Amino acid sequence: MTTPDNSQISAEVHEPDALTGDMTDQYFPENHPLVRANLAEILFSGLPVSQVAIIAGILGYILDEVRRMNIFQLLHPDVLVQFRELFSSSDAAQKDHVELRLVTRDNNMIHVEGSASTRITDGKPYLLRGIFRDVTQKKRLEAELLASEKRYKNIVNNAMDIIFTADLQGNFTFVNSVASDIIGYTEQELIGMNYLELVHPAYRQEVQNHYQRHMVTGMEDIRYRFLILTRSKEPVWVDQNTKLVRVDGKPSWVEGIARDVTEQVKAMEALRESETYLRAILVNISEAVITIDRNARIISANPAAEKIFGYSETEIEGRQLALLIPETPECRHVD
């Protein structure tokens, strides 16, 4: 058993008179044997004095104090109803797993779990025996883990990107809410679905080959862009980063992040179309067009410039503009 962490767990404790009076009257009949019995008779009947002393010490009491106390002075008020349900009926002879909260002498709360049995005589409980252990530290760690998981879930679900995990066959085992928002399937529908079901048919084999190749080599932060289809068959471009997770050196699952880059792809395509259009104009006009950098070095020249000045584009690329247009007071390059 461990000593409770007083800085983490605390509880309000009623005065003994209140516990044995108002509380017990509220939850147990006045003549109930559990009310009349003292702590040692109920929890520690048949135990050596040394064991009673150990239990008393965990709760912060000395042995003589424990022997004079009523059990309800140790039960946290919130578990009184639970205690009644567990041990007050004739069918409560054996409970293999019991969790209770007890109050220590310095008004802190500890969690205990164990098993207990009630001896029944004439259809009524008259003796309670049990073995409990202090699990306060365990409960605190569970609470911290739950809080951490909640924070992690909030971060994952509020991210701008799809976050997922998949088994080694590519079946989703987890997706965040963003995946549902972008793809259109519910999170429940996506769990168990294979990633290839989302890939556009024109890219499916290419994507499968890509990931199978990297699965063999280890798949360390692999980035790949491909086209998927939403539930409504809308095309969406995604940039996907995936990583193979190993446990004890063996591949176990895949985790990944996918970003919707549809607008970016459309913008790049529009830019390429614009460049193609402008290049077609430059190639077909009869005027010479030469581009230079800020140091007056030639970057490019269109076919008309090649024809007018007699140099090919490769011959003049990187040369000074003065090669073609010598600087004179009348003709001078200005930044």
| pLDDT tens per residue, range 98-108 | 788 888 888 88
Distance CA 234, CA 181 (A): 13
Distance CA 330, CA 32 (A): 117
* Closest by Cα among 78, 74, 83, 139 to 116: 83
pLDDT category of residue 127 using cuts at 50, 70 and 90: low
Average pLDDT over residues 170-181: 92
CA distances from 262 to 32, 92, 169, 234, 243 (A): 72, 64, 27, 11, 23
Cα-trace Rg, the chain: 39
pLDDT at position 79, please? Answer: 82
91 exposed, middle or buried (CB, 10 Å; 0-12, 13-18, 19+)? Answer: exposed
- Tell me whether strands 172-175 and 162-166 are parallel, antiparallel or unpaired: antiparallel
Domains and CATH numbers, the chain: 16-140 (3.30.450), 159-264 (3.30.450.20), 285-335 (3.30.450.20)
pLDDT at position 333, please? Answer: 54
Cβ atoms within 10 Å, residue 127? 15
Neighbouring residues of 17: CB distance < 8 A, sequence distance ≥ 6: none
* Closest by Cα among 170, 169, 254 to 218: 254
Question: Are 121 and 136 in contact, with CB atoms under 8 Å apart?
Answer: no
Helix (H, G, I), strand (E, B) or coil at 187: helix
Average pLDDT over residues 266-283: 86
Backbone angles phi, psi at 163, to 5 degrees: -120, 130
Question: Could you give the maximum distance between any two Cα atoms of the chain, in Å?
Answer: 124
Beta strands in 148-189 (DSSP E): 162-166, 172-175
CA distances from 12 to 6, 19, 74, 250 (A): 13, 12, 12, 51
Please name the amino acid found at residue 126: Y
Triad 130, 131, 136: Cα angle to 5°: 120
Between 197 and 144, the higher pLDDT residue:
197
pLDDT category of residue 49 using cuts at 50, 70 and 90: very low
Helix (H, G, I), strand (E, B) or coil at 219: coil
pLDDT at position 334, please? Answer: 54
Between 54 and 192, the higher pLDDT residue:
192
Q: Which two tokens stand for residue 4?
A: 């409770």
Q: Quick check: 283 pLDDT over 70?
A: yes
Distance CA 265, CA 262 (A): 5
Distance CA 258, CA 118 (A): 58
Q: Quick check: 280 pLDDT over 90?
A: no
Distance CA 55, CA 1 (A): 9
Cα 1 versus chain centre, distance: 32
